[in-house]
A and B are shown apart, each in its own frame.
Chain A
């Protein structure tokens, strides 16, 4: 893999990885000296990695969530589900390519999957509109939620968006209404909903498919009311000096508290889904296996609730969010 696919703080680790690989290629079986050297190098690498990752800033976590090799919805779907059949269209206007979904089977259980989808290369990124849905995306999602409700299928959602698309067509077709409608409807959909933020959870664009009985975040994901860049642009306007701009983004990320630990502390999410060492992009299969296990565990708990309890618990959870004081 090319260096440009790695973040600055990953590079020293990747360097050792390359060295280990070179030595492994050289090593003939039985070369004990080289083998022990490899083992030492691996130890060094693991120490370095846990050291680097234990001290990541919030801004660095945001960068991991946007890592060019980060697994997207369709990378995880075949690894998490036994099978998947994609469904298309909102039945009003179009088929939004940034919002995907369909029928799936989770360890033998039929479910409905909905998620946001980003593209990897230039062409795919454009095709997926960078994971930014138009109103038809939210309406397509709602159509699939209703389908799930009608046939009594739990809903599994992967959130991964830099935001709902801010454009002329999006406004003409009611981006705000589409998101608002989804939030309202998802509050009372009569099947279990499990939401996982797998990468980026930007504001209303994320919340528009983000209401659930269980809301979880992958270890290296972010979820907030605005992106650190957006926050920085509002607070400090346009800054020409790139160093200062970067410093502002770092400060904005710290101020916004958008990483899983923050949201756990604030009582917004129910679970942090661990990622393999170095991040989900280092091992899709391992990341998916961990996620699948936790999804099954949560689904098992939610399936034992009757509908009334499920809805009452969901409502109570959202009703109580917020920090206010009475003077």
Chain B
């Protein structure tokens, strides 16, 4: 475990370098405030003025949420096949190779075991930089194994989603990953193991229509794009403009599909609190149901 952890530490540094805007100053895309990179880093890339959440690398969520030094990554060497022999302008294996080179990872999700404020969890976080965080066989399989680690160990499941949906290049097989992951979540329900789904910008389509929507608790970062269909497809279908704020976290909260909108700096504490409300306690023994 130690060996690969060193490696993943190195790639964390690599990721961040690529995601930091050039220069010491950067402009908030939401409110146009000029911010220093240093102050942004201190605020986990949240605009101090308007609460805009810059996208951060998947690995940053591990550092943000998981207790320092407690994360063990699993299934690091799982890679995609090319079951459809898919080819558009590029062959699918070439796209995979390019994404691997760009991210230093083998696919669009990091999964493992760790602790959150001392509570052992099975933790997964999706990586949008890898083909838009799309879910193919590898993402489905790694999420499935993450759920199984929860089942086997009787520990809570936490998944941070960030995905445009199913991966087109694996066709029907990527659709079936929705079935694979959701079926295992049904078993988690039966064993009364808590699952917290954390939605970040964006979480849509196949991921939203499977495990991301199936948490006992569902929380989202502010102003994330959430939904089943993409806004462009909806605008095209209805032949008109979309109302302001449509498909944002706030919209989903308003319509009853989120338990809370949680700012990034508060994520860890919120998740830990929620888990403690759901996990067995001393009083369960005193007042058994």
Contact = CB atoms under 8 A, between A and B. Distances in A.
A322 B190 contact: no
Contact of B210 (A183, A185, A226, A327): A183
A268 B176 contact: yes
Given A176-B209, A327-B77, A187 B171 contact: no
Interface stretch (B10-18, B25-33, B136-144, B259-267): B136-144
Interface string B142-185: 00100000000000000000000011101111111111101111
Contacts of B246: 168, 171
A231 B179 CA distance: 21
B172 A184 contact: no
B284 interface: no
Interface string B194-209: 0000000000111011
B185 to A, nearest CB: 6
Contacts of B21: none
B38 interface: no
Contact of A324 (B81, B206, B213): B81
Nearest to B230: A166
Given A166-B233, A184-B185, A318-B180, A204 B172 contact: no
A325 B79 CA distance: 5
B178 A322 contact: no
Contact of A174 (B140, B185, B210, B257): B257
A183 B177 CA distance: 11
Contacts of B54: none
Contacts of B176: 268, 318, 321-322
Contacts of A188: 183, 186-187, 190
Given A166-B229, A166-B234, A224-B172, A172 B179 contact: no
Contacts of A63: none
A167 B234 contact: yes
A258 B176 CA distance: 13
Contacts of B170: 225, 323
B172 A327 contact: no
Interface string B213-248: 110000000000011111001100110001100110
A225 B166 contact: yes
B42 interface: no
A172 B189 CA distance: 26
A204 B173 contact: no
A181 interface: yes
A203 interface: yes
Contacts of B204: 176
A82 B140 CA distance: 41
A225 B140 CA distance: 14
Contact of B229 (A171, A177, A262, A321): A171
Query: A174, A180, A188: which has the most chain B beta carbons within 10 Å?
Result: A180
A33 to B, nearest CB: 53
Interface string A260-280: 001100101000000000000
Interface of B: 77-84, 86-89, 106, 136-138, 140-141, 144, 166-168, 170-180, 182-187, 189-190, 204-206, 208-214, 226-230, 233-234, 237-238, 242-243, 246-247, 251, 255-257
Interface of A: 164-168, 170-177, 179-181, 183-185, 187-188, 203-204, 207-208, 210-211, 223-226, 231, 234-236, 251, 255-258, 262-263, 266, 268, 314-315, 318-319, 321-327
* Interchain residue pairs A-B with the least CB separation, the first 3: A166-B229, A322-B137, A187-B183
22 contacts: A166-B228, A166-B229, A172-B255, A174-B213, A176-B209, A180-B210, A180-B213, A183-B179, A187-B179, A207-B175, A211-B183, A225-B170, A256-B168, A258-B171, A268-B176, A315-B183, A318-B176, A319-B183, A321-B177, A322-B141, A322-B176, A323-B83
